[in-house]
Amino acid sequence: MVETQLVLPKVGDLKPESGMYCLAGDALESFVFKLDSGLVKEECNLGKALDYLHGAKLRELDFMQVRNPDRDTYKLGTYEVKVEANSCHLRILRELIELTCKGVKPLDATWFYYDSDGEKRLFFVVHSGTIVEDCYTFLNEHPLILAGGMGWAESDFGWYGHPGFAEAFERYWYRKFYTETLAGQLCVLSPYEPALFHYVRKTSASEQDSLPELLVWISCVAFSILAAIAFPSLRIYLSALAFVFAIPWADACRRTLKARGSEK
């Protein structure tokens, strides 16, 4: 069994907050794997192991076979590659290799945190302009392999150097997650109402169309003004009535503008 050279913090040490995360440099160096394909034997870190095993399939065991906790075997084309490492590190490698089978290169992916419980942190994963996983789990006891930052290179975005790029990039993907994925929409509709990042949860009050209320009050104000013009002798009383109707109309306008502003 291979021992790590650096003790990493745990996923549970990560402060639950929104943001972009990518595979951290310390994890890429400290996770050590022994690879044996019969032709090649080498010792490499997590980054090199991911590159070497990109798209590999974990060999399925017969129902009578017991998995060796410190060794996995992958099928890579016509070769079988035996991988030895710490059992926890092997489990993380298996999960990352599953992403490569979907055409994802983990080193170029970005993880976005959105929820947690007592045992795990939940992320959605973005790669090549697509949300490829909407419920990616890291157990709290796993070594922390993520650090703040994007998986893409700066050259991939012409607007990268703009002061507002990072915030706009986060807002774009969080809103896309909450509107277009199953996990995101469940977060919005869930009765326990988890925190939503860069997205406004619509309540029954905010979903109510305020246009009918505005039309009623503006009609009352307009009617009072027209009546005051038609009946000069009652102008003082009708003007006061128009002022009274203008108060709830102004309040309805304020609430509508506030609701619209919170959705931006």
- Could you tell me if 25 and 155 lie in one domain? yes
Residues whose CB is less than 8 angstroms from the CB of residue 36 and which lie 6 or more positions away in sequence, other chains included: 81, 82, 83, 84
User: For residue 5, is it within any domain?
Assistant: no
- For residue 245, how many C-alpha atoms fall within 13 Å in the half-sphere facing its CB? 19
Residue 101 lies in a domain: yes
197 within domain boundaries:
no
Distance (Å, rounded) from C-alpha 41 to C-alpha 52?
12
Look at residue 2 in the predicted model and tell me its pLDDT: 44
Q: Are residues 37 and 89 in the same domain?
A: yes
The answer to the question of residue 234 being in a domain is: yes
Whether residue 112 is found in the same domain as residue 241 = no
Q: What is the pLDDT of residues 101-138, one digit of tens each?
A: 888 999 889 999 999 887 899 999 999 889 999 999 98
Q: Is residue 4 part of a domain?
A: no
Q: What is the mean pLDDT of residues 168-185?
A: 93
The residues that bridge with 75 in the sheet, in sequence order, are: 57, 80
State what percent of residues in the chain have pLDDT above 70: 81
* Dihedral over Cα of 178, 184, 189, 195: its sign: negative
Q: How far is CA 234 from CA 82, 145, 218, in A?
A: 96, 77, 20
> Are 120 and 248 within one domain?
no
What's the number of domains the chain is made of?
A: 2
Do the domain assignments include residue 179?
yes
pLDDT above 50: residue 3: no
64 and 177 both lie in a single domain: yes
Query: Are both 146 and 226 inside the same structural domain?
Result: no
Same domain, 136 and 241: no
What are the DSSP E strand ranges found in the chain?
Answer: 20-23, 32-36, 41-45, 57-58, 71-76, 79-84, 110-116, 120-127, 130-139, 146-148
Tell me: do 142 and 22 sit in the same domain: yes
Per-residue pLDDT, averaged over 9-24, amounts to 83
- The domain boundary, picked from 163, 189, 215, lies at 189
- Could you give the CA distance from residue 56 to residue 69 in angstroms, rounded to a whole number? 19
| Domain final residue pick, 156, 189, 222 | 189
Q: Of all residues in the chain, what percent carry a pLDDT higher than 90?
A: 20
User: Which structure tokens are listed for 61?
Assistant: 């065991």
How much is the pTM?
A: 0.71
Same domain for 38 and 163: yes
> Within a domain: residue 194?
no
User: Do the bridges between strand 71-76 and strand 79-84 make them parallel or antiparallel, or are there none, so unpaired?
Assistant: antiparallel
Residues 209 and 174 in one domain: no
Q: Are residues 155 and 235 in the same domain?
A: no
Residues 15 and 138 grouped into a single domain: yes
pLDDT of res. 207: 46
Looking at 189, 215, 243, which one is the last position of a domain?
Answer: 189
- Averaged pLDDT score across all residues of the chain: 81
* Domain of residue 208, residue span: 204-262
